Amino acid sequence: MELIRGQYNIRGHQRGCVATIGNFDGVHLGHQAVIGQLLEKSKQLQLPAVAMVFEPQPLEFFSRSTPAGMEPRVAPPRISRFREKLRLLEAQKIDKVLCLRFDHNLSQLSGQQFIQDIVVDGLGVQHMIVGDDFRYGHKRSGDFGLMQSEGQKHGFGVTATNTFLLDGERVSSTRIRAALAEARFDLVETLLGRPFCISGKVCYGQQLGRTLGVPTANIGMAGLRPTLTGIYIVRLQHNGYWVPGVANIGTRPTVDGQKPLLEVHLFDFDKTIYGEFVTVQFHQKIRDEKKFESLPELKSAMEKDLEIGRRYFEQNHPE
């Protein structure tokens, strides 16, 4: 899969395609249905399949740029970070991803100008696949009707995708975030079409876990607000194998942590994995994150968490 960073990096040989556009946060079953239509049209027209995404996501941009005197907007936490999103889109057989930097200039484009600059002049789109409720352009002024009329004007086709329902309810990133907040991982897996995971590079931490006798693999959250917070039973994938453990995700209030961090203690594992890119799969929540009065109290709570984790895997994964 080819990644194009920004409309100004589109080259002549990359023009002419079938495209869709959206945040694709989580690349859930609803997104996969849209991509399925995209790939079908791509095969029919014998053109590359392109997904257009935004970085940062629009609500993230607006939450950082609220004018003085106005109540700040709060962007929802991400289900998948950018690198994970790319990996998931590649797994869906997308040919190219155009990542549009969402900034003030892009936010000011009218719906018509967005279509002219990016869809027509940029990618030379021959067919667009969009949700019937998709909005774009300054103040979300563009809708499916505008895309359709502009398509007739510029000579590209437009297909609307219907809302994807599961058990009579819409599959959406909002619904998945709500299920994650309740630690309903079975439902999350159903909506995503795969178990919920967080991936990232193992980095150096404060070494506090090692001091307390519970060494951890630390994964930074790149300044993003995590979808989950608390203590969880997890598995970490290393060299093709899944290693059981317990993870804390949050700001570590007992030690005055600031940035969100994912810390994973692995059972019966003593390999050094600093700098490696790993995937952590979540199984069950143990408890919320809590500020303890002392490190001995924290250590005692961690030991109880590990005991719960070991019992879980003895009962559910005896191998």
pTM, 2 dp: 0.89
Pairing, β 96-101 against β 49-55: parallel
Domains of the chain (ranges, CATH numbers)? 2-170 (3.40.50.620), 196-316 (2.40.30.30)
On the question of pLDDT at 64 being above 80, the answer is no
Query: Which tokens hold the place of 203?
Result: 């980095």
On the question of pLDDT at 89 being above 90, the answer is yes
What does the pLDDT look like over 10-62, one tens digit per residue? 998 899 999 999 999 999 999 999 999 999 999 999 999 999 999 999 988 88
Query: Which tokens hold the place of 283?
Result: 């199984």
Please, what is the Cα angle at 9 between 13 and 46, to 5 degrees? 30
What does the pLDDT look like over 118-169, one tens digit per residue? 999 999 999 999 987 788 888 888 888 999 999 999 999 999 988 888 888 9
Distance, in Å, from the CA atom of 249 to the CA atom of 235, rounded to the nearest integer, reads 14
Computed over every residue of the chain, the mean pLDDT equals: 88
On the question of pLDDT at 212 being above 50, the answer is no
Q: At what angle do helices 173-181 and 185-192 cross, to 10 degrees?
A: 160
Question: What are the beta bridge partners of residue 199?
Answer: 279
DSSP codes, 27-59: --HHHHHHHHHHHHHHHHHT--EEEEEEES-HH
Distance, in Å, from the CA atom of 52 to the CA atom of 30, rounded to the nearest integer, reads 16
The pLDDT value recorded for residue 49 is: 98
Distance, in Å, from the CA atom of 111 to the CA atom of 93, rounded to the nearest integer, reads 29
Among the listed residues 254, 244, 237, 235, the one whose alpha carbon sits nearest the alpha carbon of residue 300 = 254
What does the pLDDT look like over 135-148, one tens digit per residue? 888 888 888 899 99
Q: What is the pLDDT confidence band of residue 237, given thresholds at 50, 70 and 90? A: very high
Distance, in Å, from the CA atom of 230 to the CA atom of 277, rounded to the nearest integer, reads 22
Distance, in Å, from the CA atom of 254 to the CA atom of 141, rounded to the nearest integer, reads 47
**E strands, the chain, in order:** 2-5, 17-21, 49-55, 96-101, 125-131, 157-161, 165-166, 169-170, 197-203, 217-220, 230-238, 241-250, 261-266, 277-287
Greater pLDDT, 288 or 298: 288
Residues in the chain, how many? Answer: 319
Among the listed residues 312, 314, 316, 319, the one whose alpha carbon sits nearest the alpha carbon of residue 233 = 312
Pairing, β 125-131 against β 157-161: parallel
